[in-house]
Structure 1
Amino acid sequence: MSGETAPETSLDGFLGGRLRLAQPKRGYRAGTDPVLLAASVPAKAGERCLDLGCGVGTAALCLSLRTGAVCDGVEVQPEYAALAEQNAAANDLPLTVWQADLMALPTSLRQQSFDHVMLNPPYFAQGAGTAASDPGRDLALRDRGDLRDWLGVAVRRTKPKGSVTVIARTDRLPELMAAVPTHLGSLRLQPLVARAGRPAKRFVLQGFKDGRAPFVLCAPLVLHEGETHLRDGDDASNSAQEILRNGAKLRFLDADR
């Protein structure tokens, strides 16, 4: 791993244990977001997908397992990129990993286009919040003021009529909407709420290159049952369980575009 000491890892299960991924014990650790992101992509078997900022490969491998799509991933941190390659091999799933900066993609990758592009950009804007003690985690969670650039790269790598799908924090929605290029249309916004009646803290935004359908604001996806956490154990809603454990897709994608 680039001549550095390999990070200590844990082996964690996703999609009901059908996917087993090694990820650092310290640093950025994948949770539900990449699984929800992968569930949002309307890929079909054999289609090509690109995951920008793929980390250890969680979203790309969830998508490949669910749909049979063939994924590429871009990851700037060499330790995470190496783990993504190892995870793909260990799960016998296709994943080509490009260890590169998003803003300086290799020429051979810039010459390619994909049926679908997905991204889980850093949660926090530059200068926001408190820096994480682990440098790798901080780089994964905090951007460099380039959210518009993330979206621009995604759209450029997408084929005509292909999809671009983003998951992000709700406080970044105005910034993201302002960055949407005019040729990314048929936008649909899926709020994600922890419990019914609470504000949405995250969202999925999806658009289609050259799409012309009207903007759609979907009903919130509620992730947990009840108004508060009342018992030990998992209280995920039925809809969330279908996605997170069984690999179901987000149903908002059934709308016409």
Structure 2
Amino acid sequence: MTSTHTIDAFHRGHFHVMQPKGGGHRSGVDAMLLASLVAADKPVSVADLGAGAGAAGLAVAARLEKAKVLLVEKSSLMADYARRTLALPENAFLAGRVGVIEADVTLTGKPRLAAGLADEIHDHVVMNPPFNDAADRRTPDALKAEAHAMTEGLFEAWIRTAGAIMKPGGQLSLIARPQSIAEIVDACGKRFGGLEITALHPRPDESATRILVTAVKGSRARLTLRAPLFVHGADGHAFTPFVDDLNNGRAAYPRLGPRRHPQAT
């Protein structure tokens, strides 16, 4: 019988993720770099919005032993993959620190609360929103299309929810395409300040294909453009040493500015 899924190792086998084979969104380096943005030496609560099978959230929990993570996923199928991922024997060390809820990130008000997204309880919110716009070639796979298809006002809706469920002084972290930078800055508006943006370039002589963004709820600090990160060297496909450390959970990519995260209770 042909398998419908794969079990993929991350952080050099520290944890594993069950993902659909040949359909749906499959996590990789983007999720690991997103997870690296969460830096903490105290107990923290982290929400991973649009978590898919849970790769980014699990990467945070695997690296930070005091972190509790909530995986939030709209697709029932992908949420089931996240639950099956948590049930893997290889992930037993994460038991009790990671949970899964099925919820639409764009919900507001009482429906959002009823779905399990309570107000001001998380120290960190991470997200890897859908990134394809209408001009991109559409995939015939329905699940993958839903995971990748950007809709108008998407960043506004997702960042609004992040602001609602995050404690004052908490950190928003996301990865996106560079062309979304204006929408992200606009969506942060007065909710988040102190934006720090890092361009990710495949190689030193190539244009950026992703941006890493962090911001702090309630901050009035100005935007900072950080030094770029190069995923690969000029020659070959090997990761640069620092990106390899980020990808494998050996290092975090903390903010430059003063952190105002409240201590978790």
**Alignment TM-score, normalising by the size of structure 1:** 0.89
* 1:243 aligned to which of 227, 242, 246: 246
Is residue 224 of structure 1 aligned with residue 224 of structure 2?
no
Partner residue, 1:3: none
- Percentage of matched positions with identical amino acids: 28
Map of 2:263 onto structure 1: none
Question: Any idea what the Cα deviations from partners look like across 1:4-54, whole Å, max 9, x if unmatched?
Answer: xxx810111111121111101122111111110000122444311101000
2:17 maps to 21
Distance 2:242 2:7 in 1: 26
Paired letter, 1:156: A
Whether 1:42 aligns to 2:43 is no
Segments of 5+ residues of structure 2 without an aligned counterpart are: 260-265
Partner of 2:258: 256
Deviations 1:131-184 (A, max 9, x none): 111111000001232221111111111100100111001111112112112131
SS at match of 1:65: helix
2:125 touches 2:173 (CA, 8 Å); kept in 1?
yes
Name the counterpart of 2:117. 110
SS of aligned partner of 2:7? strand
What's the secondary structure of 2:34's corresponding residue?
helix
Q: What is the CA RMSD across the aligned residues, in angstroms?
A: 1.7
Q: Deviation string for 1:60-111 (max 9, x for gaps)?
A: 0000011121000111111110111121232121221111211233426233
**Match for residue 143 of structure 1?**
150
Amino acid at match of 1:164: L
Residue in structure 1 matched with residue 51 of structure 2 by the alignment: 54
Aligned-partner SS, 1:149: helix
Which residue of the other structure, out of 53, 78, 81, is the alignment partner of 1:80? 78
Aligned residues: 244
- CA-CA distance at 1:254 after TM superposition: 4.3
Q: Greater shift after overlay, 52-61 or 75-84?
A: 75-84
Distance 1:42 1:204 in 2: 14
Query: Structure 1: 5+ residue runs without aligned partners?
Result: 1-6
Between the aligned partners of 1:46 and 1:178, the Cα distance in structure 2 is 31
Contact kept? 1:43, 1:116, Cα under 8 Å: no
Whole-Å Cα distance in 2 between the matches of residues 247 and 122 of structure 1? 27
Quote the Cα distance in structure 2 between the aligned partners of 1:247 and 1:82: 29
Runs of 4+, deviation exceeding 6 Å:
none
**TM-score after normalising by structure 2:** 0.87
